[in-house]
Amino acid sequence: MPDSAPSNNPALRVAVIIGSARGGRAGPSVAEWFIRHVSHRTDVELDVIDVADLDLPVAMPGWDGLPAPAPETQAVLADVSPRLAAGEAFVVITPEYNHSFPASLKNLIDWHYTQWQAKPIGFVSYGGLGGGLRAVEQLRQVFAELHAMTVRDAVSLHGPWSGLGEDGRPRDTAVCESAAKNMVDQLLWWGRALRAARAAHPYGG
């Protein structure tokens, strides 16, 4: 798949979500590596969303919308919700905490619904001997419930003692960059296909 967008097929808008808010996290360094790796491509347009910048409470409105979110929460949603809605695809960057993904990431996911529907999602995971794969497998189930399509290939960075250097970037750059290219290529295929499908038939999930 070429790394440039055909003139009749504009670049895919991809929201890159940094999913950890924990102190000392490696997420921003992993995101920096991923963004630098794909920044030369003209077929993707990236928007980085960091959950650490979002003050979204755990308590949410009921199904009837009551009680309404506090004004400060509404201000956060007014910024992030349209950005998620504008995304035509997502790359979720997540560590693995206790065999799962961070609560901060789940909170962002749960505050939204239609923004995920009928869109593809790719993963860059890190941490532990499994490289975050258990977090990704659980996220696949979550996003399936939200009518999203997760792509098959993912990027998995194994532990700070093997896969990540002290700067939070991959040690084995050749393998990781190849995995990232495969994941992004699949994301683009699905992103373009679902973009066309949504335009022809609005999703009714």
Question: Mean pLDDT across the stretch 82-100?
Answer: 96
- The pLDDT value recorded for residue 125 is 94
Instruction: Work out the average pLDDT over 35-49.
Output: 94
Q: Helices 27-38 and 173-200 meet at what angle, rounded to 10?
A: 70
* DSSP labels, 107-160: HHHHT-SGGGTT-EEEEEEE-TTTTTHHHHHHHHHHHHHTT-EE-S--EEE-II
- pLDDT number for residue 7: 54
pLDDT band at 52 (very low <50, low <70, confident <90, very high): very high
Q: Residue 127 — very low, low, confident or very high, per pLDDT cuts 50/70/90?
A: confident
**Amino acid letter for position 19:** G
Q: What does the pLDDT read at residue 164?
A: 62
Mean pLDDT of the chain, nearest integer: 91
Mean pLDDT over 167-195 rounds to 87
pLDDT for 160 equals 53
Return the structure tokens found at 171.
Answer: 């040690």
Does the domain formed by 12-59+72-199 have CATH 3.40.190.80? no
Q: Which residue has the higher pLDDT, 180 or 166?
A: 180
- Taking residues 92-112, report their average pLDDT: 96
Question: How many Å apart are CA 144 and CA 177, to the nearest integer?
Answer: 27
**Per residue in 114-123, pLDDT tens?**
999 999 999 9
Q: Who's near 127: CB < 8 A, 6+ residues apart?
A: 26, 95, 96, 97, 135, 157, 159, 160
Concatenate the DSSP letters of all residues of 22-39 into one string.
-TT-SHHHHHHHHHHHHT
pLDDT at position 1, please? Answer: 47
Residue 158's pLDDT band (cuts 50, 70, 90): confident
Relative orientation angle of helices 103-110 and 133-145, to the nearest 10 degrees: 10
Q: What is the pLDDT of residue 26?
A: 87
pLDDT for 177 equals 84
Residue 129 binned pLDDT confidence (cut-offs 50, 70, 90): confident
Residue ranges per domain, the chain? 12-59+72-199
Peptide bond into 67 cis (omega under 30): yes
